[in-house]
Structure 1
Amino acid sequence: MRLKAYEGRPAAVTRAGRDAVNAAMIRHWCEAMGDTNPAYSGPDAIAPPTMLQAWTMSGLTGRPGRAHAYDELLGLLDEAGYTSVVATDCEQEYLRPLRPGDEITFDSVVESVSERKMTKLGTGYFVTTRMDIHVGPDLAGTHRFRILKYTPRPPAGRSRPDRDRQQKPARPRPVVNRDNAGFWEGVRHRRLLIQRCTDCGTLRHPWLPGCSACGGPDWDTVEACGEGTVYSYVVMHHPPFSAFDPPYAVGLIELSEGVRMIGNVLGVPCDKVRIGMPVRLEFHEYDEELVLPVWRAPEAEEAVA
């Protein structure tokens, strides 16, 4: 297959991290994530492993240069009619702790191109790139990022052309894996479940295979009471995507239980959302298969974004 010929070819040019691993970025990350693990502060501090990609980012002024082979691959898919793209998942592997002062380099390759797949969004190909992050000669970690390049599937069950034009495409589905399947099963039953470490009692979200406070692998769940406040938020205008109706507010919600999660903020105009605003949990059915938790400000009852 012609697309398979791109496997193993560069997806981005080799670059050095814009900044060395440093305590200031580690502190900001931990404050934003609410992570108080003592391993990330003090004279022997390490960087949180989940910051791996942060050290490769170029900021708002630029991005790592894509390699010709990767642009050529995406161009072939565009020419064949697979013009839409959606990010599906990413995964990281941590091989060496990063410490303040480490200088990183990174490169990226096209790791795999799938066979043609039929999905609920449409027909297309999954393209996986792998970024390798090094400190000197040592491989510190890998970051895999997977997208679906696809042709959108036309709406089904609509016989009248005017109704076809009005039908929205399906909202993207959350990526469900073995680590978070219990969370989404709870959502399906209209329960918002929070992981709790059975060793130290620390609550955590998003769901993880182990405790970030003590490293314990065992856990159970507690059900959230459904009350929270807006810790931070953004108002989405771009990029346009026909499954959504911009502008709309996406909030980082601090639950009464102390963990934070992301969700749409409803009930007030998006330009009226404010940090500290109280919100309450609702479950919204977007279609016959998709239920998502959303957060409604109690002052008004308005249509879902």
Structure 2
Amino acid sequence: MSEHEERPRPGYEERLQAFTGRELRPLTPAQDPVNQPMIRHWAEAMGDTNPVYTDAAAARATGRTGVVAPASMVQAWTMRGYAATVAPPSPSAPGGFDALVALLDEGGYTSVVATDSEFTFLRELETGDHVAVRETVESVSAEKRTALGTGRFVTTLKTYTDRDGATVATQRWRTLRFRPAPAAPPDAVPAPRPRPAVNRDNAFFFEGAERHRLLIQRCTGCRTLRHPPGPCCPGCGSLEWDTVEASGEGRVYSFVVSHHPRHPAFTSPYLVAVVELAEGTRLVTNLTGVAPDDVTIGMPVVLDWLTAAHDPTLPVFRPAPTEAP
């Protein structure tokens, strides 16, 4: 903590560690019981075609009494829902979640990022089960230095129970509450980008990029294009290959807007996209020259090149020019 930052009041560590074992969320029932429509929506969204989630006969054939919910869906039943998310905050129980956040804010740990989640499942949930959840603090770590900033790992334990009070699952949830690192001065030299792992299978790709050529690996046996590069054709198994140069045209197949974790070489937020090339292969890349809110699935894009001193030349994509009517 710098000398200009406000220091927490005396006894801070003791007050923070006193949260260990404290209940953050009292036993809270889910808004709805486990039901088939929500299971179906979840399975479709996840692409999970296991029939025990949607077909009662198929579930009974496995020894179950009927359809069951996917195990990892247990958290979804107890989520607050949209209305509670946008409603004005209501006072929490004394010493609960809001009190812990306020105490962490006092220490300067005003930013948060989830780090990991560990589930233990004790039994499958069936339609008609009504789940409830209770959350307690398991531990608050000593101060740690991380790439995001100095902070503390807060681990809580969520216990999911059925209507009889029997535990059906537990979830150990860990977040990092940290002090955001100071922004670099405007005239600071940009940090180098992470270096790609270049090997014998993909060296041609990066060598082509240095010459502003987007090369795609092609099997010389079945003529199938593939990316990312590899030693063996996934179609026919041939080890023989050559390359073709892509036209540089494509469409956005999918994309994400990356906010965390922050990296000094990137200006956050930034766009990471899967671009489907005109040749049929797909490439993970960055989108430039467009605001996140203006990106759409299927948007036409064209090849551009990211070239910076001391960094490898990499292909990026920008929106394709629109034709005049």
Normalising by structure 2, we get a TM-score of 0.57
1:194-253 C-alpha deviation (Å, 9 max, x unpaired): xxxxxxxxxxxxxxxxxxxxxxxxxxxx975799975666778x99x8977677667688
- 8 Å CA contact retained: 1:8, 1:109: yes
* Pairing 1:156-305 to 2, within 5 Å after superposition: 162-163=186-187, 188=197, 224=228, 266=287, 269-270=290-291, 271-276=293-298, 296=317, 299=320
In the other structure, the counterpart of 1:151 is 179
* Pairing 1:54-93 to 2, within 5 Å after superposition: 54-62=76-84, 66-69=92-95, 70-93=97-120
| Mapped partners of 1:40, 1:254: distance in 2 | 32
Aligned residue among 29, 49, 52 for 1:16: 29
| Mapped partners of 2:36, 2:276: distance in 1 | 25
1:74-130 C-alpha deviation (Å, 9 max, x unpaired): 212211222222222222221110111111111111111011111112111111111
| Mapped partners of 1:29, 1:153: distance in 2 | 38
| Mapped partners of 2:316, 2:47: distance in 1 | 20
- 8 Å CA contact retained: 1:277, 1:297: no
In the other structure, the counterpart of 2:128 is 101
SS of the residue corresponding to residue 152 of structure 2 reads strand
1:253–1:58: structure 2 CA closer, same or farther, 3 Å change rule? farther
1:26-70 C-alpha deviation (Å, 9 max, x unpaired): 111111111111221111211111112111112111159754323
1:142 paired with 2:142, answer no
SS of the residue corresponding to residue 27 of structure 1 reads helix
SS of the residue corresponding to residue 52 of structure 2 reads helix
What is the CA distance between 1:167 and its match in structure 2? 7.2
SS of the residue corresponding to residue 54 of structure 1 reads helix
Aligned residue among 20, 30, 35 for 2:48: 35
What is the CA distance between 1:144 and its match in structure 2? 2.3
- 8 Å CA contact retained: 2:104, 2:110: yes
| Mapped partners of 1:151, 1:27: distance in 2 | 41
| Mapped partners of 1:281, 1:21: distance in 2 | 48
| Mapped partners of 2:197, 2:270: distance in 1 | 24
**Letter aligned with residue 152 of structure 1:** P
**Letter aligned with residue 53 of structure 1:** Q
1:117 paired with 2:141, answer no
- 8 Å CA contact retained: 1:267, 1:299: no
The aligned length equals 242
| Mapped partners of 1:247, 1:162: distance in 2 | 17
1:281–1:110: structure 2 CA closer, same or farther, 3 Å change rule? farther
SS of the residue corresponding to residue 127 of structure 1 reads strand
What is the CA distance between 1:139 and its match in structure 2? 0.8
SS of the residue corresponding to residue 83 of structure 2 reads coil
SS of the residue corresponding to residue 187 of structure 2 reads helix
- 8 Å CA contact retained: 1:264, 1:294: yes
| Mapped partners of 1:153, 1:144: distance in 2 | 27
Deviates more, 1:114-123 or 1:85-94: 85-94
Higher strand share: 1
| Mapped partners of 1:150, 1:19: distance in 2 | 35
Deviates more, 1:245-254 or 1:129-138: 245-254
| Mapped partners of 2:135, 2:70: distance in 1 | 22
| Mapped partners of 1:33, 1:45: distance in 2 | 17
1:98–1:264: structure 2 CA closer, same or farther, 3 Å change rule? farther
Structure 1: gaps of 5 or more residues: 174-186, 193-221, 301-305
| Mapped partners of 1:295, 1:188: distance in 2 | 18
Structure 2: gaps of 5 or more residues: 1-12, 57-65, 203-225, 231-245
| Mapped partners of 1:264, 1:129: distance in 2 | 36
- 8 Å CA contact retained: 1:97, 1:140: yes
- 8 Å CA contact retained: 1:121, 1:152: yes
